[in-house]
Amino acid sequence: MFSYKSTVSYTMRACLIVASMMSAGPLFADQQVFVSFSMPERLLEETLAESARLHIPANLNGLVNDSMTETIAKIVALTERVPDLSLQIDPTAFERYNITQVPALVVDTGDCFDVLYGTRTLTEGLNRIAYHGACSRASSQEGAR
């Protein structure tokens, strides 16, 4: 059944995503991408380049071969190819969102969060979460009350 409120809600979410992509930072409470150096190099670089463009911080779960030196060397090499890179080592974020594979995109509204796994672009992932995520359904149901 057609619902004016849900259509407006979806339209507003899409506008927020576009505004977020064009702004200096995300409008959602928290957007993060989870990556690993075990990902194919091209996929890792493309994911990090898009996360830098969209101002979405990226997380690593740990060190390369348990070596800070190797990890720093890889991060420095990445920053040469992705100048505005925002990359941190944060295993607690992986635990908090129960990230079990990479790449993963998380949108956390504060009340709930959505995790999307896979190799789609972050822009596609944000759109998918906005329209089909559990948090979007929860806020649509609240708005319909």
Asked whether residue 103 carries a pLDDT value surpassing 70, the answer given is: yes
Q: Determine whether domain 4-144 maps to CATH 3.90.1140.
A: no
Provide the CB-side half-sphere exposure for 72 (13 A, CA): 3
Sign of the torsion angle spanned by Cα atoms 3, 145, 16, 39 = negative
- What pLDDT digit, counting tens, does each position of 55-102 carry? 999 999 999 999 999 999 999 999 999 989 999 999 999 999 999 999
**What string of DSSP letters covers 101-126?**
SSSEEEEE-SS-EEEEESSS-HHHHH
Question: Other C-beta atoms within 10 Å of 79: how many?
Answer: 14
